[in-house]
């Protein structure tokens, strides 16, 4: 069996060496070697601004023997996590393909268990992971994540389990099915659920980053969650959008101000407070609906452009089965849909 391990990276200079060391320990293990002897690690640099790309070049030029070969792709700019996942899946050559983060919040030791499950159970097509605790996370982020999963599962025809991670191992038919979906605006958790296949879940407790700081801000996660909701369901067309929420909040404040003013200073014009409240509320509701329509129209506009999801500026390393980390061979190329 041949295994490809895809690791998207964005400003992971501190974590990348630790992740590769941890992978070496796992892949060199006796049980892992019995299940799979050919392994490639595909590193995807998502437009990092630190020394991440330099480390990728260094490890691919390093002549010391590793239990896996290493390849890397470097984007021309930051295209986002979804683009990194897509590029790695396209580059993967193994019959099994695993996806994991670089910060070691996805425990590499679980790769052995995933391999064993796929080896022993031919009816299992994918082994995925989910966190059962969020110890160490800021409370606001944990609350937002729980609300997101409940909302997605309420409106999406393909449920996404609470705590689901992108960390998973798939057979080649699952990977091919994921790659056959040609949309530009991608949400991998929703795509993995949409393609179906028999999936077995592994639960584990939350693990903190091995080093460095995350590049995800709260608002970045909120934006990513909103895009994910639009990607998996059309229900938001009737519910909300960023602009609509903001305008409804303004309308509510305006109602409170009008009511308080009328109570304190009287009603100089009969019926004016109620009329102003009604007009403000209806106007906000209309803009709310228009905002939702605009969000979906914007996604349709982006899809019709048919631009590539990412552009590869440089790539290097050795292919699967070459038996070492090899020399880097930089090249410029453009991704296609």
Q: Are residues 28 and 89 in the same domain?
A: yes
CA 20, CA 2: separation in Å to the nearest integer? Answer: 18
Q: Are residues 171 and 320 in the same domain?
A: yes
Per-residue pLDDT, 180: 87
Q: Are residues 14 and 151 in the same domain?
A: yes
Per-residue pLDDT, 67: 78
Q: Are residues 168 and 290 in the same domain?
A: no
Q: Are residues 167 and 58 in the same domain?
A: yes
CA distances for 311 relative to 52, 73, 229, 273, 334, angstroms: 18, 10, 26, 56, 5
Residue 225 included in any domain: no
Extract the tokens encoding 87: 């590029």
Q: Are residues 182 and 314 in the same domain?
A: yes
Residue 223 included in any domain: no
Residue 230 included in any domain: no
Residue numbers of the domain that contains 207 = 2-217+307-334
Extract the tokens encoding 35: 């299940």
Number of domains, the chain: 2
Per-residue pLDDT, 332: 40
Residue 114 included in any domain: yes
Q: Are residues 208 and 246 in the same domain?
A: no
Q: Are residues 281 and 328 in the same domain?
A: no
Q: Are residues 141 and 178 in the same domain?
A: yes
CA 223, CA 313: separation in Å to the nearest integer? Answer: 27
Q: Are residues 182 and 250 in the same domain?
A: no
Per-residue pLDDT, 285: 72
Neighbours of 35 (CB within 10 A): 19
CA 40, CA 323: separation in Å to the nearest integer? Answer: 9
Q: CATH no. for residue 69?
A: 3.90.550.10
Q: Are residues 61 and 71 in the same domain?
A: yes
Contact 83, 46 (CB under 8 A): yes
Per-residue pLDDT, 101: 86
Per-residue pLDDT, 97: 92
CA 62, CA 41: separation in Å to the nearest integer? Answer: 14
Residue 224 included in any domain: no
Instruction: Give the 3-state secondary structure of residue 166.
Output: strand
| Mean pLDDT (10-residue bins), the chain, 337 residues | 88 86 86 83 88 87 78 87 88 89 85 88 88 70 71 71 82 90 78 83 74 60 66 61 66 76 66 70 74 74 76 78 46 42
Vertex 5 angle, CA 90 and 328, to 5° = 75
Residue 6 included in any domain: yes
Q: Are residues 99 and 187 in the same domain?
A: yes
Residue 229 included in any domain: no
Per-residue pLDDT, 218: 59
Residue 222 included in any domain: no
């Amino acid at each position: 069996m041949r295994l490809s391990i895809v690791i998207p990276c964005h400003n992971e200079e501190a974590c990348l060496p630790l992740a590769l060391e941890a992978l070496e320990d796992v892949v060199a293990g006796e049980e892992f070697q019995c299940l799979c002897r050919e392994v490639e690690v595909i590193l995807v640099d998502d437009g990092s601004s630190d020394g991440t790309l330099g480390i990728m070049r260094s490890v691919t030029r390093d002549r010391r023997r590793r239990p896996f070969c290493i390849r890397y792709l470097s984007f021309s700019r930051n295209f986002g996590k979804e683009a990194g996942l897509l590029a790695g899946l396209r580059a993967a050559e193994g019959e099994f393909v695993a996806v994991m983060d670089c910060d070691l919040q996805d425990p590499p030791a679980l790769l052995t268990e995933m391999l064993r499950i796929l080896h022993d159970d031919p009816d299992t097509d994918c082994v995925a992971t989910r966190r059962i605790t969020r110890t160490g996370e800021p409370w606001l982020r944990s609350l937002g994540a729980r609300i997101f999963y409940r909302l997605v599962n309420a409106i999406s025809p393909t449920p996404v389990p609470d705590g689901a991670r992108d960390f998973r191992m798939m057979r080649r038919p699952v990977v091919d099915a994921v790659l056959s979906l040609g949309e530009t605006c991608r949400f991998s958790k929703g795509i993995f659920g949409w393609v179906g296949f028999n999936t077995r879940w592994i639960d584990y407790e939350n693990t903190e980053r091995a080093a460095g700081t995350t590049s995800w801000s709260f608002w970045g996660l909120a934006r990513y969650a909103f895009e994910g909701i639009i990607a998996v369901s059309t229900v938001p067309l009737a519910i909300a959008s960023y602009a609509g929420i903001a305008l409804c909040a303004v309308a509510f404040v305006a109602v409170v101000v009008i009511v308080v003013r009328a109570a304190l200073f009287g009603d100089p014009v009969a019926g004016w407070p109620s009329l102003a409240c009604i007009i403000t509320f209806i106007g906000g509701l209309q803009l709310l609906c228009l905002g939702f329509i605009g969000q979906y129209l914007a996604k349709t506009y982006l899809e019709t452009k048919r631009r590539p999801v990412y552009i590869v500026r440089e790539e290097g390393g050795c292919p699967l089965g070459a038996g070492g980390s090899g020399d880097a061979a930089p090249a410029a190329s453009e991704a296609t849909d």
